[in-house]
A and B are shown apart, each in its own frame.
Chain A
C-alpha cells in the first residue's frame, strides 16, 4: 500500500511537471498594450542592425504608447516561408516578394488593407504597375509595396584592380563581362564570374539572363492561364554564355552549387569578381556578410537582342490574415511608420536615416521607386546628407537603370518553375556536354505541365 501511494504521488508529480511545462507556453501582454510581432532581419544580422531597430522601435512606441512592438527574426526563403505560413508562426507584419503576392491573394492568405491604404492616401501614389501586383480582380488591395529592385551587375573593385582592369569602367556588354571574367580568373585565381544555381535562385537568375538577352520565359494569357516560353533564343544565349565561361574560359571558379546566401558570402569574402543579383543586395552584403564597402561596385546588367529588359521585383509589407482588428490597426500603423513614411515625409525620412547611420547601417542603397518618380527623387534628396553607401561606386547603375525596360517576374507557378530551371543551370555548369537546346525543350515542356497542372 505504501509503495502504491508513493507511486501515485510520483505519477501526480510527473504529470504536474508536464502540465507546468505546457503552461509555460501560454503568454500574453501583461501591460494591456496591443502587442504586434513584426519582421526584423534575417538570422545572422549584426548587432548594430538590431541597435538601429531598437532605436526605431522606441521612437514608434513613444508616438504610439498603446502599442508594444516585438521584433522577430524573419527571412523569406521558399521552404521556411511555407512552413511558417502553415504553422502560424509568421509575424503579424512581414514581407513577401511580389512573385508570391498573387498566389497568396488567390489562396485568401492576405489581409485586405484597401481601406487603410486609401485612408492613408497611398492609393493614388503607388506606381500603378507595382500596385496591380497586390490587387485582386475587384481592385481590393492586400499589401503595401515597400521596396523594388532591378537586377544589377555587382562587381569587386579590388579584384578588378588586381587583374589590371579599371573598376570605374565596368563591362557594358556580355562579351565584355566574359573578357573581364577571364582576365580576373587568370590574374587573381578567383572566380571571374559566378552564378546562383540553388534553392530556386538558379531559375531566378536564368530568367533575368533570358530577359537581358531579349527573351521572355512566360506569357500571361490574361485569362488566368500562362504559356511557358522558356525555350527562346534569349535563354539559350544566356546558357551558352554560362557554358562558354565555365568550359572554354574556366573563369567561374570551382563551386557551382551557390544560392543567395552562399554567393553573397563568397562575394563579400572577395572570392567572386562579378555576379548578378537584385540592386538592393548591398544592405545585406554589409549587414549580414561583412563586405568591405571599398570592394563594392554596381552597374546595370548588359542588355542585348530584340526587346531586352531588366528583371525587376521587390517585396510588399503585409499583415497576417489571422490577426484581430486591434492588432491589424496597430500593424498598419507600424507598416506606415516603418516602411512608408520615410518615402513620403521629410522628418520621417531623416529620422530613419539618422537611426541607421548611428548604427553604421546602409543608407541610400539603390532601389527602384514604388511610389511615383517625383516622390522617389524627393525622398532621395532628403536623405542625401546621410547617405553612407559609396554612391560613386554605383554610378554605372544609377546612370543606366532608368534607360532600361523593367520587366516583372513571371507570375504563373513562379517558384516551382525557378526550381525546375535550377537543374538546367546546374547541368550546363557541371556537364561540359550538356545539350542546351534539349535541356530547354524539356524544361519548357515540364514548365507547361506545371502551369497546366492546376
Chain B
C-alpha cells in the first residue's frame, strides 16, 4: 500500500527531472568522452573471438539443421533432417547407451568422490598430499589417460587388469571387447579421471561445515556414521545437488571415452548421442550428413537447456534458502 501511495510522487519527480535528462542525452561525443571507445576496444578481442568461434558456429549449425549440405552445395529441406534423425534406429540405441552411461556414472562417480572426500577430511596429517594425489588424474591430458587405460584394459590374460584379477583367482575379463562390459569399463575410467575435481569441491564444502555441529553430535553420543548421516550430508545437500545436475549434463555429452576406447563398438554398444552426431557428420568421407548431425545437436541442446533451466531454478531456491 505504501508503495502504491508513493508511485505518483515518483512519476512527478521524473517529470520534473526530464529536461535535465534531455540535456544529458548521449551523443557519440559523450559516448567517446565517457570512455565508450576504449571500452569497446577493450572488449573487441573478446567479442571477436566469441563471435567467430562460438556464436557464429552456433547460429550456423542451427541454420544447417534445416539444410542438406556438403558445405559446397546447399539446399533447404525444412524438417527433413529432424524426421530422418528421429526415424534412425540407432538413435534409440544412442539414447539408451547415453542414459546407461549416465546411470553408471552416477552409481560409480557420485558416491565414490564423496566417500573419499569425507575420508580425506578426517585425515589429520598430509591433507595437501592426499588432495594432490586425488587431483593428479585430472592433470593428465584426457587423451593420454584413455590411451593408458586402453593398455590396462588389454583383454588377454597378460593384460594389466587381468593379471591383477588373476592374483585373486578371477578369470580374465573381456573389458572393452564385449558389448556387456564395454560401457562399465568406460565409466570406470571416466570416474577415475573426473573424481579429483569433485573431491576438491566436496573437501571445500566439508570445511565449511561448522565444527560445533560435530561437537554437539559427539556430546549426544553420535557414532561416526550418524555424524556423517545427520550432520555432513545435510550440510552438503546444496553442493551435492548441483554436482548431480552438472554431472547429468556432462554425461549427456560424453564423447571422448567411446570415441577413443571403442569407436562406438562392439556392435554399437557404446554409441552415445555425441558419437552418433559425429558419425552423421564424418562417417561418410564425402561430405557427411551435416544437416542430420546439426539437427540432432539442436535437439540435444534443447534437452540440455531444459536441464540447465531446472538447474538454475534449483540453485536460485537454494541460494535464497
Cβ-defined contact, A18 with B44, below 8 A: yes
1/0 per residue, CB under 8 A from A, across B259-286: the answer is 0001101111000000000110111111
Residue of B nearest to A429 (CB): B266
B288 / chain A contacts, CB cutoff of 8 Å: 82, 86
A44 CB → nearest B CB, Å: 15
1/0 per residue, CB under 8 A from B, across A1-36: the answer is 000100110111011011000000000000000000
B141 at the interface (CB under 8 A from A): no
Residues of A in contact with B, size category = 35 or more
How many residue pairs, one in A and one in B, have C-beta atoms under 8 Å apart? Answer: 135
1/0 per residue, CB under 8 A from A, across B42-56: the answer is 101100100000000
Cβ-defined contact, A11 with B282, below 8 A: no
A169 at the interface (CB under 8 A from B): no
B10 / chain A contacts, CB cutoff of 8 Å: none
Listed residue (B70, B172, B266, B285) with the most chain A CB atoms within 10 angstroms of its CB: B285
B71 at the interface (CB under 8 A from A): yes
Cβ-defined contact, B177 with A257, below 8 A: yes
The residue from B45, B156, B177, B279 contacting A15, defined by CB atoms under 8 A apart? B45
A430 at the interface (CB under 8 A from B): yes
A229 at the interface (CB under 8 A from B): no
Cβ-defined contact, B41 with A11, below 8 A: yes
B174 / chain A contacts, CB cutoff of 8 Å: 254, 430
Cβ-defined contact, A82 with B284, below 8 A: yes
B308 at the interface (CB under 8 A from A): no
A87 CB → nearest B CB, Å: 8
The residue from A10, A86, A255 contacting B71, defined by CB atoms under 8 A apart? A86
B234 at the interface (CB under 8 A from A): no
Cβ-defined contact, A15 with B35, below 8 A: no
A184 CB → nearest B CB, Å: 15
B320 at the interface (CB under 8 A from A): no
1/0 per residue, CB under 8 A from B, across A155-193: the answer is 000000000000000000000000000000000000000
A338 at the interface (CB under 8 A from B): no
A413 / chain B contacts, CB cutoff of 8 Å: 284
Residues of B in contact with A, size category = 35 or more
The residue from B44, B72, B155, B265 contacting A254, defined by CB atoms under 8 A apart? B155
1/0 per residue, CB under 8 A from B, across A198-214: the answer is 11100000000000000
Cβ-defined contact, A82 with B285, below 8 A: yes
A320 at the interface (CB under 8 A from B): no
Cβ-defined contact, B73 with A107, below 8 A: yes
A7 / chain B contacts, CB cutoff of 8 Å: 35, 38-39, 42
Known contacts A12-B41, A79-B283, A415-B286; is A257 also within 8 Å of B176 by CB? yes
Residue of A nearest to B89 (CB): A446
Cβ-defined contact, B42 with A11, below 8 A: yes
A95 CB → nearest B CB, Å: 13
A345 at the interface (CB under 8 A from B): no
Interface of A is mostly: helix
B38 CB → nearest A CB, Å: 4
Known contacts A15-B45, A426-B265, A431-B267; is A104 also within 8 Å of B286 by CB? yes
Interface of B is mostly: loop
Cβ-defined contact, A422 with B73, below 8 A: no
B21 at the interface (CB under 8 A from A): no
B73 / chain A contacts, CB cutoff of 8 Å: 107-108
Cβ-defined contact, B283 with A415, below 8 A: yes
B263 / chain A contacts, CB cutoff of 8 Å: 198-199, 257, 259
B257 at the interface (CB under 8 A from A): no
Known contacts A85-B287, A197-B265, A200-B283; is A8 also within 8 Å of B45 by CB? no
Listed residue (A12, A76, A255) with the most chain B CB atoms within 10 angstroms of its CB: A255
Cβ-defined contact, A8 with B285, below 8 A: no
B37 at the interface (CB under 8 A from A): yes
Cβ-defined contact, A14 with B44, below 8 A: yes
Listed residue (B174, B267, B281) with the most chain A CB atoms within 10 angstroms of its CB: B267
The residue from B42, B262, B268 contacting A10, defined by CB atoms under 8 A apart? B42
CA A446 – CA B284 in complex, angstroms? Answer: 15
CA A83 – CA B284 in complex, angstroms? Answer: 11
The residue from A10, A15, A107, A416 contacting B283, defined by CB atoms under 8 A apart? A416
A423 / chain B contacts, CB cutoff of 8 Å: 265-268
The residue from B39, B177, B267, B284 contacting A427, defined by CB atoms under 8 A apart? B267
Known contacts A86-B70, A416-B284, A426-B266; is A254 also within 8 Å of B35 by CB? no
Cβ-defined contact, A82 with B42, below 8 A: no
Residue of A nearest to B285 (CB): A78
B142 at the interface (CB under 8 A from A): no
1/0 per residue, CB under 8 A from A, across B156-175: the answer is 10010000000000001010
A100 at the interface (CB under 8 A from B): yes
The residue from A18, A82, A198, A422 contacting B286, defined by CB atoms under 8 A apart? A82
A422 / chain B contacts, CB cutoff of 8 Å: 265
- Top 5 closest pairs, chain A to chain B, by CB: A11-B41, A79-B282, A254-B155, A430-B266, A427-B267
What are 10 A-B contacts defined by CB distance under 8 Å? A82-B281, A85-B287, A100-B286, A200-B283, A254-B155, A257-B177, A415-B284, A419-B284, A423-B268, A430-B178
Having A10-B38, A82-B282, one finds 15 other A-B pairs with CB under 8 Å, namely A4-B38, A7-B35, A11-B40, A15-B44, A81-B285, A81-B286, A86-B72, A100-B285, A253-B156, A415-B283, A415-B284, A415-B286, A416-B284, A424-B267, A431-B267
